Amino acid sequence: MHEWTYEALMQELTKPADTKTLLIVLDGLGGLPVPELNGKTELEAAQKPNLDELAKRSMLGLSEPVFPGIAPGSSAGHFALFGYDPLRYYVGRGVLEALGIGFPLQEGDVAIRANFATIRYEGDQPIVVDRRAGRPPTEETKRLCAKLRDAISEVDGVRVLIEPVKEHRFVVVLRGEGLGDGVRDTDPQGTEQPPLSPVPDPDTPENRRTAEVAAKLVGRIAEVLRDEPKANFALLRGFAKRPNWVSFRDLYKLNPCCIAVYPMYRGLAQLVGMTVLNFEGDTIADEIAALRRAWNDYDFFFVHIKATDSRGEDGDFQGKIAVIEEFDRHLPDILALQPDVLAITGDHSTPARYRAHSWHPVPLLVHSRWVIPDPTVDGFGERACAKGTLGKIPAKFLMSLLLAHAGRLERYQA
């Protein structure tokens, strides 16, 4: 008896078709009721006539990024949406950040995502005051990275490569012999506590070597940045080497592209084999303009919008509402392209009340000529989606659903 895996089933059943599919990810879309919004979520409170009208002609549901109770990171949430089970496919964020800025990773490189941070000292003990150093502009991060590059080129015979990413984020790449990527983050994920030590996990000689180099590197960075008023420290996350996975193209027989501003999301799209488009600007309007220009050249489009998540993490529910409303104003331009299948969702929920990624399921809208609209739907929101005809589905099955709506799946068995 043949035992199918999801990947084998998709490769067996997918077929080419003259259809275009558009997946729009409003990062951190889901929210929680906000007392100041009369008990509505940010999505429910937003003035979004175009989304609400589209919801009446679509199928609604909720997407579960991992499984109930698990708050996913951004990479896990996106890999699930792409059909890569986040419990089986994992890569540290360092690789995603490095790929996202076009860094040429070599075999054996260990890539690390780093945050500039603000600390104060209690004696010799650093205490984290701001994990993002006040979100400095990217130009400031470029200056800081140049300062570090001038002062640090190697640690214990391991070459250290430092590149700016965006705002407070930068990439560190360790290049040398005998390095492992099993090292825990130094970011304590909170303030008023000391940074963590890089700990090998599991404890192997290769991981110990990387952890020892990382510990010395953190100390060197602190020395170089000690006189900076805000960005006087660095927190390290996502130690990783680049994996080799089955590509999105081979899995689904699609010609996919990615339109995203933030490097990490460009990196994760590149990792699964999407073409990452370059374009000027960083607004939603700039992304839609890039989508329009590329429309004739691809058949699957992943568009990522970041600010919904950023505003949620900042606890800024009015700011999150403003981003949703801005997207809504551009929705007619998206619909004018006449995608055969359109999905609008998030990679996870980031309620402004919670100020972090949460475990709550994510609103999901799917529109095509084959949907069964729910006549009781009056708009696009968490509670409307909870009652929608799609029900609650694991995010890792969204792609097979979109392929079916796009006429790209053969029938299973006779």
Distance CA 236, CA 184 (A): 9
> Which of these three, 221, 240, 259, is where a domain ends?
240
Please list, in sequence order, all residues whose beta carbon lies within 8 angstroms of the beta carbon of residue 172, skipping any fewer than 6 positions away.
94, 111, 112, 114, 160, 161, 162, 217, 236
DSSP letter string over 378-412? -S-SHHHHHTSTTEEEEGGGHHHHHHHHTT-BPPS
Q: What is the pLDDT along the chain (414 residues), one digit of tens a residue?
A: 567 888 999 999 999 999 999 999 999 999 999 999 999 999 999 999 999 999 999 999 999 999 999 999 999 999 999 999 999 998 888 998 899 898 999 999 999 999 999 999 999 899 999 999 999 999 999 999 999 999 999 999 999 999 999 889 999 999 999 999 999 999 999 999 999 999 999 999 999 999 999 999 999 999 999 999 999 999 999 999 998 899 999 999 999 999 999 988 998 999 999 999 999 999 999 999 999 999 999 999 999 999 999 999 999 999 999 999 999 999 999 999 999 999 999 999 999 999 999 999 999 999 999 999 988 899 999 999 999 999 999 999 999 999 999 999 999 987
* 208 and 258 belong to one structural domain: no
> Which of these three, 240, 269, 299, is where a domain ends?
240
The backbone region for 123, taken as left when phi is positive above 0, alpha when psi lies in -120 to 50, beta otherwise, is left
Tell me the two tokens of residue 251.
């899995």
> Which of these three, 240, 261, 287, is where a domain ends?
240
Residue-range definition of the domain harbouring residue 45: 13-90+245-405
> Is residue 259 assigned to a domain?
yes
> Is residue 7 assigned to a domain?
no
35 secondary structure, DSSP code? G
* 250 and 396 belong to one structural domain: yes
* 154 and 193 belong to one structural domain: yes
> Is residue 84 assigned to a domain?
yes
79 with 270: CB under 8 angstroms?
no
> Is residue 118 assigned to a domain?
yes
333 with 287: CB under 8 angstroms?
no
> Is residue 331 assigned to a domain?
yes
DSSP letter string over 279-300? -S--SHHHHHHHHHHHTTT-SE
264 with 167: CB under 8 angstroms?
no
User: Total domain count for the chain?
Assistant: 2
Predicted TM-score of the model (pTM): 0.84
* 261 and 380 belong to one structural domain: yes
* 205 and 344 belong to one structural domain: no
For the four alpha carbons of 372, 376, 378 and 383, in that order, the dihedral sign comes to: negative
* 276 and 361 belong to one structural domain: yes
* 236 and 167 belong to one structural domain: yes
97: exposed, middle or buried (C-beta count within 10 Å: 0-12, 13-18, 19+)? Answer: buried
Q: Which CATH number does the domain housing residue 289 bear?
A: 3.40.720.10
